[in-house]
Amino acid sequence: MSQSHVLIAGTWRPADASGTFSAHDPRTGEALPGEYPTSRWSDCDAALDAAQAAAVELRTVEPAKIAAFLEGYAARIEARADEISELASKETALPVAPRLAAVELPRTTGQLRQAAEAARNEHWTRPIIDTAANIRTRFGPIGPVAVFGPNNFPLAFGSISGGDFAAAIAAGNPVIAKGHPLHPGTTQILAQEAQKAVEEAGLPAATVQLLYNLDFADGERLVKDPRLAAIAFTGSRRGGLALKAHADAAGKPIYLELGSVNPVVILPKALEERGAALAEEFTGSCLMGTGQFCTNPGLVIVQESPAAQAFVADVTKRFAAAQPGVLFSKSGLEGLGESVDGLKSAGAKVLAGGKPAADASGFSYENTVLEATGAQFLEAPEKLQSEAFGNATLIVRTSSTDETKSVIRSLEGNLTGCVYSATDGSDDASYDAIAPELRARVGRLINDKMPTGVAVSPAMNHGGPFPATSHPGFTAVGLPGSISRFAMLQCYDNVRPHRLPASLRDENPGGVWRNVDGNWSHGAL
Amino acid sequence: MSQSHVLIAGTWRPADASGTFSAHDPRTGEALPGEYPTSRWSDCDAALDAAQAAAVELRTVEPAKIAAFLEGYAARIEARADEISELASKETALPVAPRLAAVELPRTTGQLRQAAEAARNEHWTRPIIDTAANIRTRFGPIGPVAVFGPNNFPLAFGSISGGDFAAAIAAGNPVIAKGHPLHPGTTQILAQEAQKAVEEAGLPAATVQLLYNLDFADGERLVKDPRLAAIAFTGSRRGGLALKAHADAAGKPIYLELGSVNPVVILPKALEERGAALAEEFTGSCLMGTGQFCTNPGLVIVQESPAAQAFVADVTKRFAAAQPGVLFSKSGLEGLGESVDGLKSAGAKVLAGGKPAADASGFSYENTVLEATGAQFLEAPEKLQSEAFGNATLIVRTSSTDETKSVIRSLEGNLTGCVYSATDGSDDASYDAIAPELRARVGRLINDKMPTGVAVSPAMNHGGPFPATSHPGFTAVGLPGSISRFAMLQCYDNVRPHRLPASLRDENPGGVWRNVDGNWSHGAL
C-alpha cells in the first residue's frame, strides 16, 4: 500500500515523512488499510509559504467566491456522504446511523453553508462608522490559520471540514489543517473534496492545505512561525496548553477548546418532582457517543435527600445495565482508566463500572458512576473536577445549598453549567443563590436540559473561561460569531472613499448591518 | 513628610511597604515633595480579596449606579482640574496649557462620561437572540481587572482615570490600579476623587483600589493570581511582555498597548505637490509632547527624488531649529539615547540631533532625525524599526515603489500606518500597490493625516497586530468597543424568562440594541 500524499499549495504530493501510521478499528483494535505520513518540518515550511501567498491573494477575492467554495464543498461532501460516514464509522466506531450520516454530516454541511452565507453577507465584519470624524472600522481577515482537529467529531469539528475551518475560511483566511491521527482516511476524503471545490470556485490553490500528522516539536514550531496568524485547537488540555505556550510567546491568538466537566446541578425539589425522568435523561446524555463529548456531563451535584438517594441508585442501575460503547482508541481507554483511578484516589467511590469492559474485543470501558460527598469535593476540588473523557461521571452529594454553592465556587472555567429546578418555582431561592456563581464560571448556562446538544445558532456560546477555552470572549460554534476569532480590527481614518472596502462606503452596496453613529442599520448613509 | 497611603477596600491605609520613592521634576531633575510606597505582596493580596468580593457584588448592581459613579467622578475631576493639571505638569513636564488642562483632562472626563453612557445603555453587551432555539447570549463582566498605566498620559490613560479604567468599570468590573511611579501625586488626587465618587454612588468600596508601585516579582504574581480576571497594560515592550508571559501561563486575557513606530509613507507625487507643508505637518506631529506618544511617527518612508531630498532637508532644518522638549525621566533620556545609538549601529545616519541637549538642566535630548536607504532597512529591519521613544525619527529613502513595498512587508505589527498621496490621484497606482501590505500590519490605516491624534470615537481602533498590542481584535480607545476586552460571553440556553438579564428578556426594557434572528433592533420581541 502506497503512502498517502499530503495537500500542499493545491497539489497532492508525497510527504517529507519522518514516519507513517495507520488508523485502527476501535471495535477490534485491528489496523485499517491505508498508510499516512507524519510530515517533517519541510512540509510545514512549504505549506506556510503557500498559505502566506494565498492570504495576500484572498484579500482581494470577492466574498461571493469564498461563499461559492463553501457551498460547493458542502455539496461535494453530500455526494460522498455514504462513503464518508462509513469510513468515519470504521475509524471511530461512531455509528453510521444516526450519528454520522443523519446528525454529524448534515451538521457539517449546514455549518459550511452558514459560513458561506456569513462570507457573502459580511455581517461578521461589524462595521462601525463615525460620520462626523470620518473614521470607519470593520473586522477583516487575520491571515493564515492552522486548525488542529479533535478525535471526537471527525466531520463537524474536523480540521478540514468543521466549525473552526468554516469560520477561518469565511473571514478570508487560508487554512492549514492538521488532521487527527485517529481518522486520517476520513480527513483525506474531505480534503479531496475541499481541494476540488477550491479549484472550481477559483480560489488560491493554497486556501486549503492538509498535513495528516506532525511530531510535537514541529507542531510547536508551526504555531509560532511568523507566517501563521492564528491557531484553533480542539482536544486535550495537555496538547492544547503546550501549543498555547508557543503561540503566546510569539504573540498570536490561539483558540483552544479543551472540554470540561460541565457541572449539572439538580435542585432538591426538581429531584422530588421528576427524579426518575432526570435519571433517564442524564444517563442518555452521559453515555451518548460513549461520553466522548466536550459537553459531556461529567459532574452532577445533588443535595442529600431520599430523592437524591433514589436518583443515585437509579443512575447507577441504568449505567450498569447499559451496554458500554466503544472508545476511540487504546490511549483513550487507558486515559479513561487513569482518570477514574485519579478520582478514586481523591476519595470518590465507584458505584458502577470502574474497569475495562471484560468481554469486549475493542476499546471499551464499563459505564462508570462514582460518588463523593460535598466535603470530599471541597478537600480535593482540583482532582475531583478532572475530566474523565468517556462514559464516566461523578455524582457529588452535598449537605446543603450553601455547600452546593461552595462546590460551584471551587470549579474552574467550564463550557457549560446546567441547573434543573422544580417547575412550580419551589427551587427558585436555591437557584438564585447558586446561579450567579455558576454564571461566572461557564460559557453557557442551561436550565432543565442536558449540555450535550450544541445547537449551531448565532446565539450559541461554545466557549467559556479558562481552562475550558483560552479566552472567555469567543465561541467556537455559532455563525457569524465564531468568525471573529480569525479577524483583526481594521480602522480606516480619513481614508478616501474609493479606497474603502465596499461595506464601509457610504453606499453600502451589500446591505451589511453597520453601526453608524451608535445605531444599527443596513442601508446607505 | 509622611508616606502616602494606598487605597484598599475603600480605605486609605498605610502600605506594607518594601521601600519608598518620590516623583521628580523632569525640567530640573529635582525630587518633588511627597513620598510614596512600593507595596509588598500583602497589599496585593488584600486588594485581590476585596476585588473578588466586589466583583460578586457588582454583578447585581444596577448599571445606572455604575454610570452615576463614572459621571460623579468626572465632575469631581473637573472640580480639581487646576490642581490636577498643575501637579501633573510638575511630575511630567507636560505643559498645563494647552496639553493637560485643555486637552488631556477634558479627554479624560469625556471618556468617563462616554463610559457612563455605555454602562447605562448596555449596548456594549451586544445581545444575540435566537428566538426559535430560545438561546440568548450577551457579554457580561469578566471579573477583577488590574490596570497598569503608562508614563505618558497621566490622566487619559492613567491607571485610575484613563480609557482602560473606564472600560473595565463600565462592564461592571472592579479595578486594581497600579500607578505609574513617574506621577504618583497626580494618581493620588485622582484616586481620592474616585474613592469619594464610589461612596456617593453606593458601589462596593473595593470597586476602585490603588497601589502606587510594585516590584517586578509582585507585579507578575498579581497578574497570574486566580482572583484576577484580566489585565490591561500600557507601556514598554519589555515590561509588557514580562507580564504577558505570566498572564498567558495562567490562561487569562492581558491587553498590552506597547506603542510602535507608526510608519508614514509619503508617495512621490504628494511630495512634489506639497512637500514643504508635509515637512511642517510631520515635524509638528513628531515633536509634539516631545514625541512621547504611542502613535508618534517614528518611521517615514519616501521614495528617492529631488522632492524627497528637499523634504528631508526641510525636516532636518526644522528639527534642528525647534527647541527640544523635556522628556519624562532620566531613564527615558537614557533610553532614547540607547535607541538612537542602536539605529546608528544598524547603519542609520544622524542628520540632526543625536545627543542629549547640552544646555538643558532637565531631561532633554536634541530633536533627532536619522536616515537610511531602503536597502539598509531591508538588511536590518528588526533593528531599524526599533522604537525610539521621544523626539526622534528615522527617514527611509527607497529607490522604488517596489522597495517601499518590501520595506512595509518587513514591518512588525503597528498601531497606525499613514499614506500621503497626491490630491490629483497621480499616486493612486502606488497607493494600490502598498496599501494592502500596510493594511495587514496596522490597526489604523490613515490617509493624508498624521497618526498622533487618537479620537475617542466608537469607530477608533487604537490597537493592532503584535507586538503593537497583544491581540489584533481589540481597541484600547473608543467606546463601547474598548469594553469588550473586559467582558466574557455569557450564553443563556433555555433559561426561564424571569431569570434572564433584562437585556435578554423579550421586553427589552432598556431598549438595548440586540441582534434578533440576524437583524438588529432595540425594541421588544
The verdict on domain A263-447 having CATH code 1.10.3210.10 is no
Chain B positions touching A495 (Cβ under 8 A) are 445-447
pLDDT band of A358, cuts 50, 70, 90: confident
What's the DSSP call for residue B323? P
- Residue A93 — left, alpha, or beta (φ > 0 → left; ψ -120 to 50 → alpha)? left
pLDDT digits (tens, 9 = 90+) for A191-236: 999 999 999 999 999 999 999 999 999 999 999 999 999 999 999 9
Determine how many CB atoms are found less than 10 A away from the CB of residue B31.
Answer: 12
Using alpha carbons only, give the angle A496, A498, A500 rounded to the nearest 5 degrees: 75
CA–CA distance, A348 with A299 (Å, rounded to integer)? 12
CA dist A256 → A117, A243, A259, A272, B182 (Å):
25, 9, 9, 39, 39
- The shortest CB-CB distance from A130 to any of B445, B457, B475 is to B457
For testing contact with chain B, the best of A461, A479, A484, A513 (most B CBs within 10 A): A461
How is residue A336 written as a grid cell? 479513561
User: 3-state DSSP call for residue B394?
Assistant: strand
Chain B: give the shortest CA distance to residue A402, in Å. 16
- Residue entry with cell 484576577: B228
Chain A: give the shortest CA distance to residue B494, in Å. 5
Question: In chain A, positions 226-255, which contact chain B (CB-CB < 8 Å)?
Answer: 244-245, 248-253
List B254's β-bridge partners, or say none.
Answer: B231
B15 alpha carbon, distance to own chain's centre: 28
pLDDT digits (tens, 9 = 90+) for A450-485: 999 999 999 999 999 999 999 999 999 999 999 999
- Residue B511: burial class (beta carbons within 10 Å; 0-12, 13-18, 19+): middle
A458 with B244: Cβ contact below 8 A: no
Closest CA to A65 of A208, A200, A209, A162: A200
Q: Is residue B361 pLDDT above 80, yes or no? A: no
Q: What rounded mean pLDDT belongs to chain A?
A: 97
List B232's β-bridge partners, or say none.
Answer: B147, B255
Closest CA to B259 of B416, B72, B139: B416
End-to-end CA distance of chain B: 62
B305 alpha carbon, distance to own chain's centre: 36
Chain A: give the shortest CA distance to residue B474, in Å. 7
pLDDT digits (tens, 9 = 90+) for A325-341: 999 999 999 999 999 99
Q: How many residues are recorded in chain B?
A: 525
Q: Is residue A124 pLDDT above 60, yes or no? A: yes
Q: Is residue A359 pLDDT above 80, yes or no? A: no
pLDDT, position B359:
73
Determine how many CB atoms are found less than 10 A away from the CB of residue B39.
Answer: 27
How is residue B400 written as a grid cell? 522604488
Is B489 an 8 Å CB contact of chain A? yes
Q: Does the active-site annotation cover B286?
A: no
Closest CA to A470 of B248, B381, B169: B248
Is A518 an 8 Å CB contact of chain B? yes
Is A130 an 8 Å CB contact of chain B? yes
Axis-axis angle for helices A81-92, A184-201 (nearest 10):
150
CA–CA distance, B207 with B193 (Å, rounded to integer)? 13
Q: What ipTM does this complex have?
A: 0.98
- Residue entry with cell 472626563: B109
End-to-end CA distance of chain A: 62
> Please, where in chain A does CATH 3.40.605.10 lie?
41-258+474-483
What's the DSSP call for residue A288? G
B135 with A455: Cβ contact below 8 A: yes
Which helix or strand (DSSP H or E) is residue A7 part of?
A: strand A6-8
Chain B positions touching A458 (Cβ under 8 A) are 128, 130, 515, 517-518
CA–CA distance, B159 with B150 (Å, rounded to integer)? 8
pLDDT digits (tens, 9 = 90+) for B404-446: 999 999 999 999 999 999 999 999 999 999 999 999 999 999 9
Q: Does the active-site annotation cover A294?
A: yes
- The shortest CB-CB distance from A491 to any of B136, B443, B467 is to B443
User: 3-state DSSP call for residue B419?
Assistant: strand
Assess whether the previous peptide bond of A98 is cis (omega < 30° from 0).
yes
At the top level of CATH, which class does the domain B36-258+474-483 belong to?
A: alpha beta
- The shortest CB-CB distance from A443 to any of B484, B491, B520 is to B491
Chain A: give the shortest CA distance to residue B419, in Å. 9
Contacts of A194 (CB under 8 A, 6+ apart): A73, A160, A161, A208
> Please, where in chain B does CATH 3.40.605.10 lie?
36-258+474-483
CA–CA distance, B275 with B268 (Å, rounded to integer)? 9
Closest CA to A116 of A516, A359, A480, A498: A480
Chain B positions touching A444 (Cβ under 8 A) are 491-493
CA dist A67 → A70, A113, A201, B183 (Å):
5, 8, 9, 54
Closest CA to A369 of A397, A399, A348: A348
How is residue A155 written as a grid cell? 466531520
- Residue B524: burial class (beta carbons within 10 Å; 0-12, 13-18, 19+): exposed
Q: How many CA atoms lie within 13 A of A100 on its CB side?
A: 24
Chain A: give the shortest CA distance to residue B158, in Å. 24
> Please, where in chain A does CATH 3.40.309.10 lie?
263-447
Axis-axis angle for helices B81-92, B184-201 (nearest 10):
150
Q: Is residue B376 pLDDT above 60, yes or no? A: yes
B123 with A518: Cβ contact below 8 A: yes
Sequence letter at residue A226 = P
Which helix or strand (DSSP H or E) is residue A446 part of?
A: strand A442-447
Closest CA to A372 of A360, A358, A383: A383
Question: In the predicted model, what is the mean pLDDT of residues B278-286?
Answer: 97
Chain B positions touching A435 (Cβ under 8 A) are 499
Is B130 an 8 Å CB contact of chain A? yes
CA–CA distance, A319 with A335 (Å, rounded to integer)? 20
Question: In the predicted model, what is the mean pLDDT of residues A297-314?
Answer: 98
pLDDT, position A217:
96
pLDDT band of B1, cuts 50, 70, 90: low
Is A439 an 8 Å CB contact of chain B? yes
pLDDT digits (tens, 9 = 90+) for B79-117: 999 999 999 999 999 999 999 999 999 999 999 999 999
- Residue entry with cell 512600593: B38
Closest CA to A255 of A462, A419, A512, A107: A462
* β-strand pairing of B135-141 with B487-493: antiparallel
Sequence letter at residue B391 = N
Is B323 an 8 Å CB contact of chain A? no
Q: Nearest residue of B to residue A248 by CA position?
A: B248
Question: In chain A, positions 40-59, which contact chain B (CB-CB < 8 Å)?
Answer: 55-56, 59
Chain A: give the shortest CA distance to residue B468, in Å. 10
Closest CA to B170 of B108, B109, B117, B231: B117
pLDDT, position A259:
81
A459 with B491: Cβ contact below 8 A: yes
Chain A positions touching B485 (Cβ under 8 A) are 473
List A416's β-bridge partners, or say none.
Answer: A444
For the domain covering A41-258+474-483, report its CATH number: 3.40.605.10
- Residue entry with cell 480542539: A234
User: 3-state DSSP call for residue A419?
Assistant: strand
Question: In the predicted model, what is the mean pLDDT of residues A343-370?
Answer: 94
For testing contact with chain B, the best of A120, A225, A238, A491 (most B CBs within 10 A): A491
pLDDT, position A1:
53
Q: What rounded mean pLDDT belongs to chain B?
A: 97
Is A488 an 8 Å CB contact of chain B? yes
For testing contact with chain A, the best of B129, B227, B489, B522 (most A CBs within 10 A): B489
- The shortest CB-CB distance from B444 to any of A140, A431, A491 is to A491
pLDDT digits (tens, 9 = 90+) for A231-270: 999 999 999 999 999 999 999 999 999 989 999 999 999 9
List A230's β-bridge partners, or say none.
Answer: A145
Q: How many CA atoms lie within 13 A of B32 on its CB side?
A: 23
Q: Is residue B400 pLDDT above 80, yes or no? A: yes
CA–CA distance, A466 with B63 (Å, rounded to integer)? 26
A251 with B467: Cβ contact below 8 A: yes
Q: Where do the H-state alpha helices sit in A266-400?
A: 268-287, 306-321, 330-345, 374-379, 381-384
B518 with A123: Cβ contact below 8 A: yes
- Residue B242: burial class (beta carbons within 10 Å; 0-12, 13-18, 19+): middle
pLDDT digits (tens, 9 = 90+) for B170-201: 999 999 999 999 999 999 999 999 999 999 99
User: 3-state DSSP call for residue A234?
Assistant: strand
Which helix or strand (DSSP H or E) is residue B198 part of?
A: helix B184-201
Q: Is residue A414 pLDDT above 60, yes or no? A: yes
Decide if A506 contacts B176 (C-beta within 8 A): no
CA–CA distance, A252 with A346 (Å, rounded to integer)? 37
Chain B positions touching A446 (Cβ under 8 A) are 493-495
CA dihedral A242, A245, A251, A254 (to 10 degrees): 40
E strands in B43-134: 128-130
Is B382 an 8 Å CB contact of chain A? no
